[in-house]
Amino acid sequence: MTIISTISMLEHTGLSHCKNVRAGKLSGGQRRRLSVALAFIGGSRVIILDEPTSGVDPSARRSIWDLIIKYREGSVYSRTCLESTASRGIKMWSVKTGGLL
């Protein structure tokens, strides 16, 4: 797995201008991009994302999916709308009463 530098990831997410801003001060879309970026920084083989584009505008949604597609090397599992995952080759998961379906 490739380990991505923090600075490089900030540049790819468009958040380099926010590098000294606390996460609580970021907008909702910026926080979503940050949380997805953090998932990829460590070089994990499996990444599980819970509705990574929920509550963001269409432009931010595309940006987040572009980030996911660019940096996925191992398995990425996402709980989100079916159209978003199926068209991008992302595995989808769902939880019901504490178990995976």
Q: CATH number for the domain including 70?
A: 3.40.50.300
The SS3 assignment for 28 reads helix
Residue 76 forms part of a structural domain: yes
Residue 1 forms part of a structural domain: no
CA distance 101 to 94: 5
pLDDT for the residue 82: 47
Quick one: average pLDDT of 64-79?
A: 75
Count of the separate structural domains present in the chain: 1
**What pTM does this model have?**
0.70
CA distance 67 to 52: 11
Residue 92 forms part of a structural domain: yes
pLDDT for the residue 14: 86
Residue 60 forms part of a structural domain: yes
CA distances to 10, 54, 60, 63 from 27, in Å:
15, 14, 11, 15
User: Would the pLDDT of 24 be above 90?
Assistant: yes
Quick one: average pLDDT of 64-83?
A: 71
Under the banding of pLDDT at 50, 70 and 90, the label for residue 22 is very high
Structural domain including 90 reads 6-100
